[in-house]
Amino acid sequence: MRLLGLTDWRSGRAVDLVLPQAVDSALIDETGAMSAGADRIDASGLVLAPALVDPHVHLRDPGQTDKEDMVTGAAAAAAGGYGLILLMPNTQPAMDGRARMADGRTVIDYLESYERDHGLHLPVDYALCVAATMGRAGRRASNPDDWSEHLPGHGWAHPVVAISDDGSAVTDQTLEAVAANARSVDLPTLDHCEHHEHGQVNLGAVSRQLGLGGIPASTETAIINRDIALAERTGTRVHLQHVSTAEGFEAVRRAKARGLPVTCETAPHYLALCDEDLLRCGSMAKMNPPLRSRADQQAALEAVADGTVDMIATDHAPHTAAEKALGLKDAPNGIIGLETAYAVCNQVLVTSGLISHDRLIELMSLAPAELMGMRRLLPEDLSSRKANTGHLQLEVDQRSEADQPPVDLVILDPEAKWEVDPSRFHSKARNTPFAGAELAGRVMATIKEGRLVFSRLPASRIVTRERNRAWTD
């Protein structure tokens, strides 16, 4: 398959991409155009970039597959342009390396062999984040003897690359032991940097208007400051998840200025929404940490612009419609984001002029991959030569060395306008605050390991015999 006239994400050059195999056997083809054996595609106006990487995903499998499972979650990721995702440990049982499922396996074993056991080739790669404490209960640090054999370098398809109790902050009583475990195997500690006992939404005018318990910014900054002190005291690599407050971003900014080993992420919803959107979206905009004030939203945008934020993660958190129908007080926290993240971020960050498109790709692909220690080949790493179209031709080599990083790419249309229709999501879940939103930027195709695994390219882009002469004359 040849995709002609793409724009390279970084250089802006016109390139043709040659794939050795037309489509993957597990291709998700929304339009049906690629399944018919299309050989040459007019990709002019589309951007070729490294596939997105999400360091913060909940697929609820095992334990809550009524909300999401590996198949639907992987499909949602591919549709969102992701080539690699990091699975959080709040599965049932917890992914702590010791707790056993009914069949006697650990969750790590279950996820490592999922594709083989189910006879599947999932359209996205995934790595694992082990629980920081036993059962994620916050009482005793998990034991590296239970999971260290699954670290990178041991030949696993889906290695353990981080440690976290996400869904909860690492407790004070286990923090030192957890950090020591992480340092002993050179893993980053990913911390859910927020802890509160009471409340449903951000403390402020909106919480008072709704008559709901408010969650102050201090519930976030207390954990951030504690974790920064840990990094300074011990040298632990600390990654702060879903930072949402102006005070939190400022604390990270100061830590970086001092050269501490601290990184952070924020999520698309903290960039695009604030607590005022609860009045419109209700429980579809309920998450933890909660949507903050408009001033906090502006601070998040500024933190992306000035480099305080290292990466953008979705915190994809599926729930059933029945659960979200319980209302703001009782509905569970969390929204889905894999299928809307690129468009939301492209609109609020790039279209607005806040950052460049190539900077967005760094935030959503290169930086998360670096955090996970899982390098991917970039388009500029591919072998190239001058094509008869006059473009630079990039070729994916089927004969690449086995230990070479994979070729995971995404084809984007940054100008495409579309309306979010949750009924068309590949995820099982529909809990998004962006339903009905008009967004700018669309994922058109995803390539995993050099094979097309997702496409919404229309039939009108297939190069016919007559159009082929126009490309080569």
Instruction: Supply the residues annotated as catalytic.
Output: 315
CA 412/CA 468 separation, integer angstroms: 23
Residue 55: asked if its preceding bond is cis (omega within 30°), the reply is no
The pair of structure tokens assigned to 220 is: 């976030």
Give 151's DSSP letter: S
Q: How remote is the C-alpha of 434 from its chain's centroid? A: 17
Please name which of 406, 386, 467 lies closest in space to residue 15, comparing C-alpha atoms: 386
Q: Is 195 exposed, middle or buried (0-12, 13-18, 19+ CB in 10 A)?
A: middle
Q: Is 335 exposed, middle or buried (0-12, 13-18, 19+ CB in 10 A)?
A: buried
C-alpha to C-alpha distances, 195 to 21, 124, 167, 240, nearest whole angstrom: 48, 32, 10, 13
Start-to-end CA span in the chain (Å): 20
C-alpha to C-alpha distances, 211 to 153, 176, 206, nearest whole angstrom: 52, 39, 8
The pair of structure tokens assigned to 362 is: 């760094």
Please name which of 82, 3, 76, 80 lies closest in space to residue 46, comparing C-alpha atoms: 3
Exposure of 295 in the CB half-sphere (CA atoms within 13 A):
7
CA 208/CA 266 separation, integer angstroms: 26
Please say whether the beta carbons of 51 and 365 come within 8 A. yes
Residue 270 belongs to what H/E stretch?
Answer: helix 268-272
- SS3 call for 209: helix
Count of C-beta atoms within a 10 Å radius of residue 230: 21
Residue 93: asked if its preceding bond is cis (omega within 30°), the reply is yes
Please name which of 108, 94, 178 lies closest in space to residue 137, comparing C-alpha atoms: 94
CA 10/CA 330 separation, integer angstroms: 45
Residue matched to tokens 């290292």: 310
CA 466/CA 5 separation, integer angstroms: 17
CA 35/CA 190 separation, integer angstroms: 40
